[in-house]
Structure 1
């Protein structure tokens, strides 16, 4: 099985494990913290809050859900799962295609460049053309990164509004990991637009 497909399968199993009754109270507290008014009205924020806690958060007794799940595995599968503690959330400006199922993208939160792939294949990146801004999370898979959870894709003409609005979002993390550092820069080809930026919600496993 391709490593990206394997990662997608493991991710699905992890999220089923995380949303089991065993962790119900902790997960509820996380979601309430992300939506203090009690209305879950943003799928991307819901996904970011949930996944950030699963990958990096701690339960009351100090355990981590990802680490508990990884105990069920051994060898390469366990190592892959534990590498997801380097989960990154950000505002990614798409630069160019990367193979049939990926893109090269610059993260305006940590100012690093990532090779991001989708476990859904070419279908998962067909809307991610150069200039599009992707707001979401990624996890390492081998030398690349896999899209994780719900993401929001904004057209290039709205990029100048998206970066100030989401670059310091409440769920954003700043991680260096193994990505390639680049110099800081603003979106080069963005142009002003009026009104609220339009977006497309994208699902990843």
Structure 2
């Protein structure tokens, strides 16, 4: 029985549990579900990348939804009846990892203080792979990593999967990558409650400006009108007189008879293709 819940003991125990979970999740019991995911670990040239494979497996263990809606971690906890309550709490907490690009704010003997460039929150991160795993990480550098909470220690996080390290000089590339991730995977940003508030505030402001500019929060336009009107709207919002193209429709909408536009107060801005030809933008 593992009853000591000090940080050092939890780190040691987390390594044991993760090893058992990996063996369980990569067993024949799940190979039919895992095997189709592993090609994601091969690059465009088809070369196998071990680090990518580890991260694919890590996602499969903790987040992939099995046909019954559970995760591999859920199944593991259900089958291992000898686990302590602390063991169960730790493993089940791993199902909600934090993915991000992190700036290394400071280094300590056994941990790093990280700033997530996506959600603007700080994380105290430990590793169960030994202190040498953090030796090459430099203060001021950057990491691409997945973190899971080290329950039940408050505000303590654990590296999960493989992290990639980048020097301080990579700051421009990291900033661009963070912007791309924040745009394409907004759930990573909205872990921060303040970012959620800012997002809702920005959307309410934009919706009000949209309704004022167009005279309504619902429009029906031809595809040509939609692109012209929205480019005019975005130039208006940016106080720009440049005649540059900021907005283009998707190929599907560009081929539609007309485009319905609804700026909903909850769902935001949405576009719908219709077969009728009509337009209302002036």
Q: Give the number of aligned pairs.
A: 181
- Structure 2 match to 1:80: 90
Instruction: Give secondary structure in 2 for the equivalent of 1:85.
Output: coil
- CA offsets 1:164-192 (integer angstroms, 9 cap, x no match): 23662989962777x8979xxxxxxxxxx
Instruction: Give secondary structure in 1 for the equivalent of 2:160.
Output: strand
CA distance in 2, matches of 1:36, 1:127: 26
What are the ranges of 5 or more consecutive residues in structure 1 without an aligned counterpart?
Answer: 183-205
Instruction: Give secondary structure in 2 for the equivalent of 1:148.
Output: strand
The question of 1:5 aligning with 2:5 is answered no
- Structure 1 match to 2:147: 138
The question of 1:174 aligning with 2:174 is answered no
User: Greater CA radius of gyration, 1 or 2?
Assistant: 2
* Larger RCO (CA within 8 A; separation ≥ 6): 1
Contact in 2 for aligned 1:48/1:136 (Cα 8 Å): no
Instruction: Give secondary structure in 1 for the equivalent of 2:148.
Output: strand
Contact in 1 for aligned 2:40/2:53 (Cα 8 Å): no
TM-score, length of structure 2 as denominator length:
0.56
Q: CA deviation at 1:15?
A: 0.9
- Structure 2 match to 1:48: 55
- CA offsets 1:69-115 (integer angstroms, 9 cap, x no match): 112124111111111112111111100023x1101001112221100
Q: CA deviation at 1:22?
A: 0.8
Instruction: Give secondary structure in 2 for the equivalent of 1:81.
Output: helix
Q: CA deviation at 1:11?
A: 0.9
- Structure 2 match to 1:150: 162
Instruction: Give secondary structure in 2 for the equivalent of 1:86.
Output: coil
> For residues 92 and 101 of structure 1, do their structure 2 counterparts lie closer, same or farther at Cα, with a shift above 3 Å needed?
same
CA distance in 2, matches of 1:109, 1:12: 29
TM-score, length of structure 1 as denominator length:
0.75
